[in-house]
Amino acid sequence: MFHTLRSRSAGLAAGAAASAVLVGGSLLGATSVQADSQNHPHKPYGVVKAGTLNERQYPSTDSSVVGQLHRHDKVGIKCKVRAQLIHGDPIWYHLRHKEAWVSGKYVHVHGYVKWCKDVDRHHHPLTNSRKARMAKG
């Protein structure tokens, strides 16, 4: 048993030393990695193409504006739906970190965006709830 503990301790010490070397070696590049992650959210994400883009409570221009994005803003995307047609584009994106929607017409997407029906079948805001029925007009 003592031999097993000593072997494990030696292994842990070697792992800690290797981690310290890796951390120490990566500290030089940490600022560029941190800056890059701030400028590019995890995929999928979108870059705003319009001067100003309204964030809506639901995927419709009849829905309340809950915020705004500006040209070149980067925003994480949770999923997409087909909804109100905006200048020939029916796609709306549900934002990842905010309960809001933006028209796909004004967003350049990076990465694959799943359909909302495939992301959260039971707790999605576009279920047949009272709020969703009222938003349909």
Tell me the pLDDT of the chain (137 aa) as tens digits.
445 444 444 454 444 444 444 444 443 444 333 344 455 568 999 999 999 999 999 999 999 999 999 999 999 999 999 999 999 999 999 999 999 999 999 999 999 999 999 886 655 555 556 666 555 55
Instruction: Report the C-alpha gap between 133 and 75 in whole angstroms.
Output: 27
Domain count within the chain = 2
Cα–Cα distances in angstroms (integers) from residue 44 to residues 34, 101, 108, in the given order = 18, 15, 11
The pLDDT, as a whole number, for residue 42 is 82
Q: Indicate whether 50 and 111 sit together in one domain.
A: yes
Q: Indicate whether 63 and 111 sit together in one domain.
A: yes
The pLDDT, as a whole number, for residue 19 is 43
Q: Indicate whether 91 and 131 sit together in one domain.
A: yes
Q: Indicate whether 51 and 82 sit together in one domain.
A: yes
128: domain range? Answer: 42-135
Burial of 79 (0-12, 13-18, 19+ CB in 10 A): buried
| Contact yes or no for 113/76 (Cβ under 8 A) | no
Q: Indicate whether 32 and 61 sit together in one domain.
A: no
Q: Indicate whether 51 and 94 sit together in one domain.
A: yes
The pTM assigned to this predicted structure is 0.61
